[in-house]
Every structure is written in C-alpha cells, then in structure tokens.
Amino acid sequence: MLALAALAPPARAQLSEDAVKAAFLPRFARYVAWPEAVRPQAQAPFHLCVIGQDPFRRLLEEAAGRELIDGHRVSVRRMANAEGAAGCHLAYVQGATPAETARLLVALRRQPVLTITDSRAGTPRGMIHFAVIERRVRFYIDEAAADALGISISSRLLALAVQVRQRPA
Amino acid sequence: MVNDRRLPVLLLSPFMIALPAGAASAQEWSSAIAQPDLSTLSIEELAQLPVQSASKREEPLSRAPTSLYVITGAEIQESSATSLPEALRLAPNLNVQRINAHDYAISARGFNGYESSNKLLVLLDGRSLYSTLHSGVFWDLRQPLLEDIQQIEVISGPGGTLYGPNAVNGVVNITTRDSRETLGGLVRGTYGTNERTLAARYGISLGESAAVRIYGNGFARDGLPDGLGPDVDDSISGYRIGFRSDAGIGRSTIMLQGEYFRNETDQRPGDNDRGGNLMVRWSRDLDGASAFQVQAYYDHFRRRFLGARDALETLDFEGQYSRSGGGGDLVAGIGVRTTRDEFTNTANIFGLTPMSRRLWILNAFVQNRFALTPELSLIAGVKVERSSLSGFELLPNLRIAWQPAPNHLVWAAVSRAVRTPSRVDRDLAGAGIIVRATDFRSEKLIAFEVGYRGQPAANVSVSVSLFYNLYDDIRTAEFIGTPLPAQLSNNLTGHTFGLEAWGNWQVLPWWRLGAGVSLLGKSFRLEPGTTDISGAAALGDDPNYQVMLRSSMTLLPNLALDVQLRAVDGLETPATRSYVEADARLGWMVTDRLELFAAGSNLVHRTHAESNDTDRAQLSERSAYIGTRLRF
C-alpha cells in the first residue's frame, strides 16, 4: 500500500512545493560565483546535477530550459552517485536514506560544487538546504562551507535565507 | 539538537528508481502544463509563493475558486495603517466603518454596523476572534504587531466548508510570520496628530531549526470629534506583549504562542479591557502527499465599559488531515470549542439570563477536490455544525473551477451557511421589557456566486465576482404582550446581490496601480403577519457602492510613495453623506536598517462620518504622523 502511494503522481495542477524548488535550483547559479578554474567556458553551460533521488523530473528540465545566465545555459544531469560529479556546478543531493545523503555530501566535500539538499529528505545539509516554512519554500545557507571551496554566494541570495552559517570573518 | 524522526519512507525508493528518470507520466505532463510560469518570477517572489500546504490546502491565488483578496505584509507596511482595522481597508471586498477612536464595524457583502456585523469569521493564526456574546468582533481588543503579519486573506462569501463557525458573509484569515523568519530586532515608533505607537520585537534562533520572538506593542489614541453618538471620551490606550516560537523537528513543526494585553478606555473611570491567550499547534507531513495538524488554544478577555462587564473564556481544539493525489485533494477536520461567559450590566435593566453560561460548539468537515479533467475540477464539501444554542446544521458547499489556461480561472459556487444564535439572540432579557427568545433559530444563507480571476497580461491581474445571497430567519424583535414585553424573533427574509471587482496593473517596474469596486443591493421583507419593532436593525446599514484606487510608486530605489483613494456611498437611517477620502505615505529607507516615514489619513476633509451608529459614532478626522522603523 505504501508502495502504491509512492508511485502515485504528485497532485495535479497544484503549485507544488516541487515546482517551486525546481524553479529555484537553476536560478541559484545566477547568485553564486565559482572559482575561476571551474566557471564554464564561453558557450558552455552550467551543469546542474541531481545526485541520487530525483523528486523533480520533468519540472527541472523546464525550469532549467528557461535560464540563460550571462550567455550560459543550464543543463541538467542525473547520476546515481558522486563519482561523475566533477563537472557539476550545482548538485541537488538526495540519497535513499538520510545516511546516504550524508555519504554523498562527504564524497562531494572537496569539489567546488554548490550542494543543495532538502529538509524533507532528512537532516544532512548541503550548502543550501530547502525547508518549507509557513507554506513558503525557503532555505538555510551554509556560507562557511561554500567559502571553504572558493564559492561565494551573493548577498541577495543570503538575504532570503532563513538562517546563514557565516564564513569566518 | 534536531532529531530525525521521519518514517523510513525513502526505503520505497527502489520503486522510484525503477521509473525511467526522464519519462514523465501523462498526468505529470498535464501537471507541468497547468503550472504557472515560475521563470518570470524573481527569487524573492519565489520565496514568497504559497505552495501546496500541509493544512487547509492553501491554493495559489489564481486557483482558489472563491472571491479572495490577499493583503500581503509588505502592503500593510507600505500603507498608512497603524492598526488592524485600518489595514483591512486595503481589501476592496470589505467595508470598514470607523465608529469612534476604538470601535469599528467591518463586514463583507452587507449587514455592516456595530451590532449587525455578526456574519464574519476572523481568524488570527487559526484563533477565532469573534465573540459568542453577539457574534461580532471587538476590534479594539485586537492589536497585533503589524510588522509580524505575513498576510491577510479576505474571503467574501461563505468561504467554503473549511473554515470554522460563523463564516457566513466572509472570512478574514490573518497569519503572522514564522518566528524563524523574524530573527533580530525591530523597533517602530510613530508620533501623530491623534495617535502615538511604539512597538518592539526581538527574534532569536534556538538551534538549527527553531526560533522564538518576543514582542511588545503599545498605542495611545486621542478621542475623535463629536458625531452622531453621545459626546463621550472615546480615547484609548493599550499595550500587548507576547511571543511566538516555531520549531521544525524532522517532518513535524511545532508552534507555540502566547499573549497578554490591556487597554484603558476611561469612558467611565476604571473602564478597561484585558486578556490573553496561549496556543499550541503541531503539524506533521506524513509522506509528502498527506499531512495532519492539531492545535489547541485558550483565550480569555474581560471588557469593562459604561457599567457593564463582559468576560469570555474560550478553549478550542481542532484537528485536520489533508491528502492529495489519486485524482483528488481531500481535507477533513473536526473542531470542538467551549466558551464560558459572564455578562453583567449596571447601566440599565438589560442583561443576559442566565448571567453566565457555558456553550459548546462542535463542527466537522470534509471536502474533496475532484479533478474531472486537467482544466476542470469540482470541489464538494460538507460541514456539520452544532452549538449549545442550535441543533445540527448541515452546511454543504459545491464549487466548480474551470481553468482553460494557466492564467485564467472561471468559477461558480453554491453554498449554505448559518449564523448560529449568540448569547444575546437567545438570552437577552430586561424586566418586563424584553424576554428571552429560547427558540431563536440560526440565521440562514444560501449563496450563489460566479467569478473570474486571471492575468490577462503579464503585468495585469483581475478578479470579478458576482453574488446572489438568499437569507432567511434574520433577527427581528416583536411585541408578544400588550404591547410589552418584546422578544427577539426570526422574521426577516430576503436577498442581497452585488459585484466585487478589483485589479492590479504594474504600469512600470516602479509603479503599480490598483483599483477595486464593490456594489451591493438589498431587499428584505417581514414574514407575513409579523412586525419588527427594531426597524430591521439586524440588516445594518451599508453603502451601495465603494470604490478604491491605489498607487504604489518607488520614486527612487529607497523612496516609496503610496496613495490610496476611496469613495464610499452614504448611509440611510440616519443619513450620512457619501465621502471621498485619501490616505498617503512616503517612506524613505535611509539605510538597509533604518526607515523614516510620514503618512496622512483622511486628507481630503477635516472630518467625515463613516458610521451612523447613534449610540457610539464620532467623526473620523484628518490626521498625520511621522515614524521610524529600525531593524538590527
């Protein structure tokens, strides 16, 4: 019975939490600066990777398809684990269990990838951690973790965070 | 420390992996089509969008098949309003009559007046604010910190099955911000020609996903110039202190809030009001597609005025469950409320018999949204309500919503609603003059509505609703002796009809215009062979038209000018003149943290009459204030 529930499609025609999260994901690239070495070349896209579970599916392609950031498109890649994550600029990380999410995050922790997680999937947090608060999709930002990898997050994005773990002064 | 208490639902993931990643089902496809285009929104707007929610299913504005206007917290802060009733003037589907410095009469779709506006349900964070004494709202007891308001949903019409008792002509649903979004400090002060306010709030984070804010809010308002009512001192001052705390624990959210307030009115020496409340709410997301919420609150207030004393104690419990998927969205819930009141009056011979009484109000509802096709859905719901002063009332509601394109919605609804008897309706008595009406019945409404809401262009939004309301058993008073005594009865029957329309036009990125109009017609008659010695007082006195215009300009990146005009039809008995008035506010963000502002209300005339209440009405007057807001 539970399995059937999991297979049921999301509610139709609702402005779903997932749609709003999917709209945010490619948009984050606009408010983040990566180290020079990993920025996309001219004409090359930003890579938005979904590592592990994918709650968004089609929604993410649609949102990404509408983004154009300083001439760069956003392309979506999906992967089961962190092995192929080298080219990712952003990574939505959701393991089958919270423990697996934590393992995936550990595997990514030396790469300059903006990691994004969801409170629905458990407590392990990436640099950006979605939470639905008062029926709005909001997020926590770990600026310190991003800063340690040379990723800087714009003040406009920080201003929207519920809480920011600040980088050391 | 956050504990992970989620059910291991993700163990089901093998099934999800089995779905080819890119292959969306036909249903998902249609869902994607029906979604509004989010790519045009800024990240700030995305962060403000209500999403499919865990409780009472908050729908995106464009899809709610009802006459709904949403006042956002930002709009309140840009307006000249310094109190909740003044902020409600932003909603074109409400009629706000200022009676005097502390009283307001507020209604949707007619019946306005201090005593007759008894068909509105007002909720503050899910706590019901109408009084079981007379089914009206004592607005002077309700002074929330305006900066903490997330939004106010104003529904004109019965509001469906989902809201609690008394949602007959409208629902005002006020929600305050999650304490996790109000971290840090805020101080606001205003100084004006007839009012001073001072408010402060401080929010602190408690670990990773919990926070608490404490706040205090004080005001002192001068009396208004003498109007139709007796020339009494109607000045008022008061304060309120409170807190709200929210914590996310795994898939659960727990909210706890409490408040204490006190007002000094001094119409007679020693007149004052005080009260407080405590509320707890637990919501839990079950599996992403279903959720439940339970809440309980205790509320108490005591008013002392002109030789009368009115106390009310409320204990309320509500639970609800929602589920979406499988071709429908289901919401169901129950509510149990008990009140204990005490009303004594030394000013005249009228009082309540018995003086003190405990009442029970029970309700249960279920509503489902059936998706007939991707564009067409049917919403059917029913609520059962029962109070100590009424029998079982069955309140069905049927709505149809047709969304031919994501930015157009056409809807129609038919609903039944009742106002169950208040204590005054049943128990008002005065030796030899009026006797209790122990068989006073619920006032009944069958409402027919149609509406359109849409976004015909990217920068224009429009809503139009038409209604036809059939009422029966509306309150009257008749002689049952020779001639005395009199008794309250249910002998008025009739209908109202009208139109509500509003629109917003983002003319330029820095300039938004809004307009709203509401028109109302009423026709009532007495049951054959009956009389009404109150002169149809229960029908109130309503303007036939009300027009609003609003302009919001960002003149410079840190300078905003907000102007609102309203034209309101006069009242009939006794007659007041129609009036045109204007409010304006100029706000200057000196730095990110410091704002200075100047505002004026009722700028067109020195005084005007909004209410024709001969027992209470004073004149509204031109006023101005300067103020500052500091965040740290």
Question: Maximum Cα–Cα distance for chain A, whole Å?
Answer: 52
pLDDT at A2 over 50: no
Distance from CA of B6 to the nearest CA of A (A): 8
Percentage of chain B exceeding pLDDT 70: 90
CB contact under 8 A, B10 and A140: no
List of long-range contacts for B272-278, beta carbons under 8 Å, 24+ apart: B272/B304, B273/B138, B273/B140, B273/B141, B273/B238, B273/B301, B273/B302, B273/B303, B273/B304, B273/B305, B274/B301, B274/B302, B275/B141, B275/B299, B275/B300, B275/B301, B275/B302, B276/B300, B276/B301, B277/B127
**B6-15, B200-209, B346-355, B593-602: the lowest-pLDDT one:** B6-15
Percentage of chain A exceeding pLDDT 90: 38
Q: Which two tokens stand for residue B109?
A: 């779709």
Mean confidence (pLDDT) of chain B: 87
CB contact under 8 A, B289 and A11: yes
pLDDT digits (tens, 9 = 90+) for B42-69: 888 888 877 643 223 344 455 678 898 8
CB contact under 8 A, B16 and A62: no
What pLDDT does residue A88 have? 93
What pLDDT does residue A42 have? 84
Confidence of residue A52 (pLDDT cuts 50, 70, 90): confident
Of residues B116 and A163, more confidently modeled: B116
pLDDT digits (tens, 9 = 90+) for B591-602: 878 999 999 999
Helix, strand and coil percent figures for chain A, each rounded to 5: 40, 25, 35
pLDDT at B9 over 70: no
List CB contacts (< 8 A) between A120 and chain B: 251, 285, 288
| Residue of B11, B34, B180 with shortest CB distance to A12 | B34
Confidence of residue B14 (pLDDT cuts 50, 70, 90): very low
pLDDT at B559 over 70: yes
pLDDT at B179 over 60: yes
Q: Any chain B CB within 8 A of the CB of A96?
A: yes
What pLDDT does residue B289 have? 65
Distance from CA of A11 to the nearest CA of B (A): 5
Distance from CA of A112 to the nearest CA of B (A): 23
CB contact under 8 A, B16 and A120: no
What pLDDT does residue A12 have? 29
pLDDT at B74 over 70: yes
pLDDT at B336 over 80: yes
Distance from CA of A89 to the nearest CA of B (A): 19
User: Residues B292, B319: contact at Cβ < 8 Å?
Assistant: yes
In angstroms, what CA-CA distances link B543 with A85, A100, B48, B119, B470?
66, 64, 35, 17, 19
> Cα-flanking dihedrals φ and ψ of residue B426, to 5°?
-90, -40
Pairwise CA distance, residues B64 & A90, whole Å? 35
CB contact under 8 A, B12 and A121: no
Among all chains, which residue has been given the structure tokens 């998927």?
A: B325
In this prediction the ipTM stands at 0.85
Mark which residues 122-161 of A lie under 8 Å from B by CB.
122-123, 131-138, 140, 156-157, 160
Percentage of chain A exceeding pLDDT 70: 89
Of residues B554 and B152, more confidently modeled: B152
| Residue of B13, B38, B44 with shortest CB distance to A63 | B38
Exposure pattern of A8-25 as b/e (b: 16+ CB <10 Å)? ebbbbbbbbbbbbbbbbb
Confidence of residue B209 (pLDDT cuts 50, 70, 90): confident
Please name the residue of chain A whose CA is at the shortest distance from the CA of residue B6. A122
- Three-class SS of residue B73? helix
CB contact under 8 A, B324 and A14: yes
List CB contacts (< 8 A) between A140 and chain B: 208-209
Of residues B556 and B62, more confidently modeled: B556
List CB contacts (< 8 A) between B2 and chain A: 123
User: Residues B236, B267: contact at Cβ < 8 Å?
Assistant: no
Confidence of residue B15 (pLDDT cuts 50, 70, 90): very low
Distance from CA of A166 to the nearest CA of B (A): 13
DSSP per position, B120-136: EEEEETTEE---TTTS-
Q: Which two tokens stand for residue A157?
A: 């994005």
Strand blocks (E) in B104-235 = 104-107, 120-124, 127-128, 149-156, 170-176, 184-192, 195-205, 210-221
Burial (CB count within 10 angstroms: exposed 0-12, middle 13-18, buried 19+), residue B394: exposed
Please name the residue of chain A whose CA is at the shortest distance from the CA of residue B19. A7
| Residue of B34, B49, B377 with shortest CB distance to A20 | B49
Domains of chain A: 16-165 (3.40.50)
Pairwise CA distance, residues B162 & B368, whole Å? 11
pLDDT digits (tens, 9 = 90+) for A9-31: 232 234 678 889 999 999 999 99
pLDDT at A3 over 50: no
List CB contacts (< 8 A) between B61 and chain A: none
Distance from CA of B322 to the nearest CA of A (A): 12
List of long-range contacts for B563-572, beta carbons under 8 Å, 24+ apart: B564/B79, B564/B80, B564/B89, B564/B90, B566/B89, B568/B95, B568/B543, B568/B610, B569/B543, B569/B544, B569/B545, B570/B543, B571/B541, B571/B542, B571/B543, B571/B611, B571/B612, B572/B541
Of residues B554 and B103, more confidently modeled: B103
